């Protein structure tokens, strides 16, 4: 069985950042679940703050740097993508949006994506549904059912009998995402050769 490639994209601006921490936790939960199913997993984290200048230059010149193009290729070539952004003005960060604006709209088609966001208050948790899900629906990605929002107070709370704490949400999101990644891997191995439409028409004419 081939090795599954997971890439986490973190748009955190500080180092360390809660955004990177959430990306790491989601990656760990997913990797653990896939390992339970005896999958070999290769993981990578992309820090967008290290590519901020490259991303800006791409918009000005119309051409990506070698480093930026390599990052885009690794993200679009992954078996699963974890995308985590801090919340600014009730939406994803400009750096996060700018990076995914540079990706071809069809490049993530059917790619499993797990969404995450961080913010200072739980009032911004709806960003997952009103901003992030529409963005990745446009990119035709296969968005995992459970997305995770982590407010500042969530990091020190384990939840109670009425609420599901952050660790439990991360675990559940990782399990669901792992199932999508594993299912996608199975489909990729079983898919038959795709015959171009023009060839199908030519074959019909010959009949």
Q: What is the pLDDT of residue 161?
A: 46
Question: Which residues, other chains included, contact 16 with Cβ-Cβ below 8 Å and sequence gap of 6+?
Answer: none
Q: What is the pLDDT of residue 207?
A: 53
Q: What is the pLDDT of residue 192?
A: 43
Q: Which two tokens stand for residue 124?
A: 């911004």
What global pTM score does this model have?
A: 0.86
Percentage of the chain beyond pLDDT 90 is 75
Render each residue's pLDDT in the chain as its tens digit; 207 residues.
678 999 999 999 988 899 999 999 999 999 999 999 999 999 999 999 999 999 999 999 999 999 999 999 999 999 999 999 999 988 999 999 999 999 999 999 999 999 999 998 888 899 999 999 999 999 999 999 999 999 988 887 665 544 678 999 999 999 999 999 999 875 444 444 455 556 555 665 555
Whether omega before 34 lies within 30 degrees of 0, making that bond cis, reads: no
Q: For 82-141, what is each residue's pLDDT tens digit?
A: 999 999 988 999 999 999 999 999 999 999 999 999 998 888 899 999 999 999 999 999
Q: Which two tokens stand for residue 206?
A: 């010959």
Alpha-carbon span 86 to 49, nearest angstrom: 12
Q: What is the pLDDT of residue 162?
A: 46
Report the 10 Å Cβ neighbour count for 93.
Answer: 20
Under CATH, domain 4-206 is a member of which superfamily?
Flavodoxin domain (3.40.50.360)
Alpha-carbon span 95 to 30, nearest angstrom: 25
Q: Which two tokens stand for residue 128?
A: 């997952």
Domain residue spans of the chain: 4-206
> Which among 93, 18, 113, 111 has a CA at the least distance from the CA of 52?
93
CB 9 within 8 A of CB 48: yes
Helix (H/G/I), strand (E/B), else coil: 77? coil
């Amino acid at each position: 069985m081939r090795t599954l490639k997971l890439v986490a994209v973190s748009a955190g601006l500080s180092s360390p950042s809660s955004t990177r921490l959430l990306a790491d936790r989601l990656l760990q939960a997913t990797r653990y679940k896939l390992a339970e199913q005896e999958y070999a997993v290769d993981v990578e984290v992309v820090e967008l703050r290290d590519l901020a200048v490259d991303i800006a230059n791409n918009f000005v010149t119309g051409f990506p740097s070698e480093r930026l193009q390599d990052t885009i290729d690794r993200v679009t070539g992954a078996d699963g993508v974890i995308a985590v952004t801090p919340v600014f003005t009730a939406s994803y960060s400009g750096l996060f949006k700018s990076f995914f604006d540079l990706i071809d709209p069809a490049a993530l088609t059917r790619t499993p994506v797990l969404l995450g966001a961080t913010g200072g208050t739980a009032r911004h948790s709806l960003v997952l549904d009103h901003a992030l899900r529409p963005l990745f629906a446009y990119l035709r990605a296969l968005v995992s059912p459970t997305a995770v929002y982590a407010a500042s107070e969530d990091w020190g709370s384990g939840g109670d009998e009425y609420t599901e704490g952050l660790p439990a949400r991360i675990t559940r999101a990782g399990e669901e995402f792992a199932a999508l990644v594993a299912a996608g891997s199975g489909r990729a191995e079983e898919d038959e050769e795709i015959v171009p439409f023009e060839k199908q028409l030519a074959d019909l004419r010959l009949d």
